[in-house]
Structures are given as C-alpha cells and as structure tokens.
Amino acid sequence: MSSTTTETGPDRSALPAAATSRAVIDLEAVAHNGRLLAQTAGVPWMAVVKADAYGHGLGPIALTALSAGASWLGVAQLAEALTLRALLDEAGVARPVEEPSGQAPRVLSWLLPVMDPARAACEDSPLRAALKADLDLSVSTLSQLEALAAAARAQATTARLHLKVDTGMSRGGAMAEDLPALAAALRRAVDEGAVDVVGLWSHLSRADEPTSGSTEEHLVRYRQAERIVCEAGLTPSIHHLAATGGLLWHPEARMDLVRAGIGLYGLSPDPSVTTGAELGLRPAMRLESELVQVKRIDVGQAVSYGGTWSAPTDRWVGLVPLGYSDGVPRAASSTGPVGIGGMMTAIVGRVCMDQVVIDLGPAQDETGSSLPAPAQVGDTTVLWGAPDALGQEAVPTVDEWAQACGTINYEIVTRLGARIPRCYVGAGAGGDYARP
Ligand SMILES: *Cc1c(COP(=O)(O)O)cnc(C)c1O
C-alpha cells in the first residue's frame, strides 16, 4: 500500500527523502513470532494478514510468514485476497493447483460481497475472480452458496468452501437451526461438482477469558454442528476454531489449523492475561518520527487546539509531525507516551490531523536559572516499538498506547495511516535499514 514497499519486500531506496516519519517493520521478529506460535500450536498455521497485515504491509508479511512455515494465509475481504494472490504470483509462490505435492500455501477469504446468482455467474464477477485466483472461501448462508455455486458452474470449476458456523459469537456463521438445510444444499452442490466442502470452522468470542467457560460452550456447539454436517454426508477435513487467543489459552481449540494474527505481530491478544514479553513474542512495528521544531513557552501558555493543556512552568516543547490521519488516536491527547533519546515523555494538548506537541520538560530550574532544551530538532522520537533490551532508549509499547487511549493493541497498529512509509529490516528485508 505504501509507495515505499514493493510486493516482494522492502525497497528502502524508495523511502522518500521528504518523509519525516516511518514505521520500521522487523521481519525477523515476525518470523520468530510465527515459529514460536507454530511450536506452541503443534498443528499447521494460517498467518492472518487482513487489513494490510494489521498495518505492517501485506506483501512483506505474507512472504515472511510463508518462509517461517505458515501453510495458509487468511484475509477477511475478497478484495484483499485478490490483491494477495497477485502479490504471491508476482513473488513466484506456487498456487495449490500447480503444486501436486500439496506444499503450496492456501489463501482463505471469509467475507464475500453480496451477489445474486445471475450476477455471480457473469464473466467479470468478483466470485469468478475468486475462483480464478484459487482461493478458499467461507460460506455461512444459502444465498452465499447459491452465488458461489453459480459462479463455479459458469467457471466450470469446483469452489473450495469452508462452512462457517456460529458457535456463540453471534457474528458471522450459520445458526444451528439453519444448518441442516444449508448442509443439505451443500451436499447437493458437492454431488453436482460445483463445490467441495473442505473446512468446517468458527471463531471464539472470549478466548482471552480462559476461565469464563465460553470456549467450552463454543466447543459443544461446534461438535453439534459437526454432527449435523456429517449426517448430511459432508466430510470437511479441516477443522478450525482458534485465533491467537485460542491457540495460546485453549489447546482443545487448536484442531487441524490455527489462525494467528496478533501474535504474529508480536503482541498478546490480551496483555492482562499474559503479556507479549511473557509469551516470548517480539513486537514487529516501531513508529518513529523526527522532532521538527523545539520551542520554549511561558508558564500558563496553552498548547494546541482548544488550549486543553497549559504549561505548568516555563517549558520546552517539541513538534512531532504525526497526527490522527497517521493513526495516532485523538484519544491520545495529553496522554500518549513518546520516547526521545533516553527520556520518556508524552503528548501535550490535542492531537491534530498531522502533528502533535510533546512536553520536553521545564525551561528553568528551582533557582530560576535557564535550562537548555533537552532535545534538538532532528532528534528521533519513538511513539511505540519493542522495548529496548539495553534500557538505553525510552520506547513506549503498543500496549501502553492502547491503555492510554482506552483501546486494544490491535487497533493501535491496524489504524496506522497509509501516509507512513513502512521500512523493512531483518531477514528477507533486502538490506538493513539504517536508522538516522
Ligand atoms: C482477525 C481474525 C483472526 C486473527 O485473530 P487474532 O486474534 O489477531 O489472532 C482469526 N480468525 C478470524 C475469523 C478473524 O477475523
């Protein structure tokens, strides 16, 4: 998505000289996290790369995950899946149809556009594009099945489907009462050769509450669905239920395949249960920017729109060229932590669209003599990243940002704006990116 990345990986030479901010993405950390999760799971794993790989960049993350052993890639929207297939083709990754040994990765997309069968069968329909792209697709309703079967007939192929059942989340998926009719229709479409039901799956709603009993209820409903599907004569061979939380905290939910998203990026699905560091995960994203202006303001001077923060003493403040259009939540006003050199400080006043002001400390000591500015124009500021092992650098974590903004780590990384260039470091990055 960013103009500074290519499909096959980094292209830091294309980093715009004019850019003042960057997200440094550590591909070695991603590979480490993938291998660690795979070891824990003990079953094949899907790298979930929806939403531009949670803001980290689709192509480089997908290829890194495959090199770390992922046998599946998962995205939500069909449009994302088509983009992903084009990236994989360009990178020379074999498609399942071209790889008789079964070693080629599969791509699953679980949100399809709504379409009537006549439209689905048209030469240019997105569902026919999905079939041409060798995607695995999810189905939850009869009308989805009708559209998919129509597309498959028109394309003279067999659609590979994963039947999604609702096991207690009440989001997507077939309800138990609708399942017999849907399963019977699937069976007819299988007999006709239009579809193949390769998977049965669902999603956990409270995997991060290991003692709530919720996952056990999901499992009961899953087994009921499995019986209905089996009675209809369907034989899905891939059963999957767990995302990162299920993988980590509910071994019984691992089944044949786990779908790992947040853990791959080095973050815990719920740091209040276990932190990423405790899990041995390494955060892959570091958001940094440069200080573009440093100034001294008088005691009582208000800062930014609305004057919601005023200097408690004569003060040094600095300007950082990142704002809510870049994904810095406006909720971080006067609270979002920022590291600069060895110093931890915070945003003061409101987050603007393109910029924030940070506190750099008092401009006078108790005796009234002037203090020099503790930071200079051009210094690197870090909004979030992996904590510095040597402790020499102040680096706020994504989890601290989530807490400061009343949200979750998923949202902090995923909302990172398209305007921020992604720079790749670590294995497969094609050269080290030198921090300024
Ligand atoms: C996003 C998503 C995942 C990945 O979840 P994480 O908690 O990030 O591991 C897995 N499955 C489905 C259906 C999802 O929507």
Tell me the pairing of strands 106-111 and 293-297: unpaired
Q: How confident is the model at residue 18 (pLDDT cuts 50, 70, 90)?
A: confident
Distance between Cα 28 and ligand 1 center (Å): 22
Q: How confident is the model over 331-340, as pLDDT tens digits?
A: 999 999 999 9
| Residue 50 is a catalytic residue | yes
Cβ(338)–Cβ(320) under 8 Å? yes
Strand partners, 22: 288
> Which among 50, 324, 410, 424 is annotated as catalytic?
50
246 CA → ligand 1 middle, Å: 10
Of 76-80, 121-125, 393-397, the poorest mean pLDDT is in 393-397
Q: Ligand 1, atom 1: nearest CA belongs to which residue? A: 261
Q: Which of 36-50, 138-152, 293-307, 387-401 has the lowest mean pLDDT?
A: 387-401
End-to-end CA distance of the chain: 24
* Predicted structure pTM score: 0.94
The protein residue whose alpha carbon is closest to atom 15 in ligand 1 is: 76
Q: Does the domain spanning 28-278 belong to CATH 3.40.50.11390?
A: no
pLDDT of residue 158 exceeding 80, the answer is yes
Q: What is the predicted pLDDT for the residue at 101?
A: 83
Superfamily of domain 285-420: Lyase, Ornithine Decarboxylase; Chain A, domain 1 (2.40.37.10)
Distance 383 CA to ligand 1 centre (A): 25
Check residues 329 and 392 and name the one with the higher pLDDT. 329
Whether 270 shows a pLDDT value over 50: the answer reads yes
Per-residue pLDDT reduced to its tens digit, 319-364 = 999 999 999 999 999 999 999 988 999 999 999 999 999 999 999 9
Name the residue with tokens 């990765």: 105
CA distance 42 to 109: 23
Distance CA 369, CA 296 (A): 14
pLDDT reported for residue 435 = 33
**Max Cα-Cα span within the chain:** 88
Q: Which residue has the tokens 């503790």?
A: 374
pLDDT over 70 for what percent of the chain? Answer: 94
DSSP 112: P
Both tokens of residue 111?
Answer: 């949100």
Ligand 1 atom closest to Cα of 46? 10
Pocket residues: Cβ below 6 A from ligand 1: 48, 50, 76, 110, 203, 243-245, 259-263, 269
Does residue 265 carry a catalytic annotation? no
Q: 165: which DSSP letter?
A: B
Res 430 pLDDT > 80: no
Nearest-angstrom CA–CA distance, 265 and 34: 9
C-alpha–C-alpha distance, residues 174 and 214, integer Å: 18
In this predicted structure, the answer to whether residue 99 has a pLDDT above a threshold of 90 is: no
49 CA distance to ligand 1 middle (Å): 9
Sketch the domain layout of the chain as residue ranges. 28-278, 285-420
CB 55 within 8 A of CB 23: yes
Instruction: State residue 51's pLDDT score.
Output: 98
Task: Specify the ligand 1 atom closest to the Cα of 110.
Answer: 13
User: What pLDDT, on a 0 to 100 scale, did the predictor assign at position 428?
Assistant: 67
The residue that leads in pLDDT, 19 or 284, is: 284
